[in-house]
């Protein structure tokens, strides 16, 4: 059982879990969501902004491990956070403060589903591996991308557990999932808190990140449109290359620069 802050993609095709699993989620406690820090509407974050605000390579994993934490991540003692996309994990919570299911293994890597995706803060979650894994019918209903992630993970696992050369072929692993010999795990995402203070700081840092991008973009435009800058660039392009033996050449070579 793990606890971590969770983010989910703001847009995507929503899918509903089987009725008996939905009923299990409905029995969980209701969590109050306070969006006053963002004027009542959920604040949106990109993969790039989450990386700047919290740290970690958001492009490469479902459970993002923070190698070099930012001040905000340090303040909340964060080592990992969840960043899931609807395109791959179809039974996610329907919105902030809600519960859902994760049809995946947290160790699945290379979850780069697009750098232009937009995410919402959903809350702090308790993750529990359920005793009842996906049935054969539930497996059949999963998107192909999710199935491939499971299969690749299983191949890596068997490659470590079995003697070299004894691991089954990819098609064999796929067939065992399809016929129910292999059962894919299912993780419950139970929202236990919508951390208002954490969310407020996320919004503040997100605003600062956007302002920084705007300032940087404006400065670059000013430099590229400056007449004096254009004249300097033109002058450099028109000037002949200096004689390697002349004093105009820097006495430092590349080795000196990086010594």
Neighbouring C-alpha atoms within 13 Å toward the C-beta of 174: 10
**Structure token pair of residue 243:** 């004689």
Which comes out higher in pLDDT, residue 16 or 52?
52
Q: Does 99 score more than 90 pLDDT?
A: yes
Predicted confidence at residue 238, as pLDDT, reads 52
Predicted model pTM: 0.75
Predicted confidence at residue 259, as pLDDT, reads 28
Predicted confidence at residue 189, as pLDDT, reads 94
* Separation CA 132–CA 85 (nearest Å): 23
Q: What angle do CA 107, 111, 116 make, to 5 degrees?
A: 150
At 204-237, the pLDDT tens digits run 999 999 998 877 766 566 566 655 555 554 555 4
Q: Does 196 score more than 50 pLDDT?
A: yes
* pLDDT, mean of residues 107-131: 76
Domain boundaries, the chain: 2-133+185-205, 140-181
Least reliable range by pLDDT among 143-157, 198-212, 241-255: 241-255
At 34-80, the pLDDT tens digits run 999 999 999 999 888 999 999 988 766 678 889 899 999 999 999 99
């Amino acid at each position: 059982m793990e606890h971590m802050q969770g983010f989910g993609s703001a847009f995507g095709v929503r899918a509903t879990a089987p009725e008996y699993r939905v009923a299990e989620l409905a029995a969980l406690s209701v969590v109050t969501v306070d969006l006053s820090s963002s004027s009542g509407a959920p604040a949106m974050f990109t993969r790039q902004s989450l990386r700047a605000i919290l740290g970690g390579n958001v492009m490469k994993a479902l459970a993002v491990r923070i190698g070099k934490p930012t001040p905000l991540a340090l303040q909340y003692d964060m080592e990992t956070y969840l960043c899931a996309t609807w395109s791959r994990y179809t039974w996610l919570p329907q919105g902030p403060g809600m519960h859902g299911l994760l049809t995946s293994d947290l160790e699945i890597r290379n979850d780069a589903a697009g750098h232009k995706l937009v995410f919402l803060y959903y809350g702090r979650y308790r993750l529990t591996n359920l005793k009842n894994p996906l049935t054969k019918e539930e497996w059949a209903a999963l998107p192909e991308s999710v199935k491939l992630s499971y299969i690749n993970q299983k191949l890596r696992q068997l490659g470590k557990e079995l003697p070299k050369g004894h691991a089954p072929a990819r098609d064999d692993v796929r067939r065992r999932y399809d016929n129910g010999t292999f059962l894919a795990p299912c993780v419950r995402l139970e929202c236990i808190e919508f951390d208002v203070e954490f969310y407020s700081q996320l919004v503040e840092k997100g605003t600062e990140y956007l302002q920084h991008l705007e300032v940087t973009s404006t400065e670059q435009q000013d430099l590229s449109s400056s007449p004096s800058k254009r004249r300097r660039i033109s002058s450099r392009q028109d000037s002949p290359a200096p004689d390697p033996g002349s004093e105009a050449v820097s006495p430092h070579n590349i080795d000196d620069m990086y010594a």
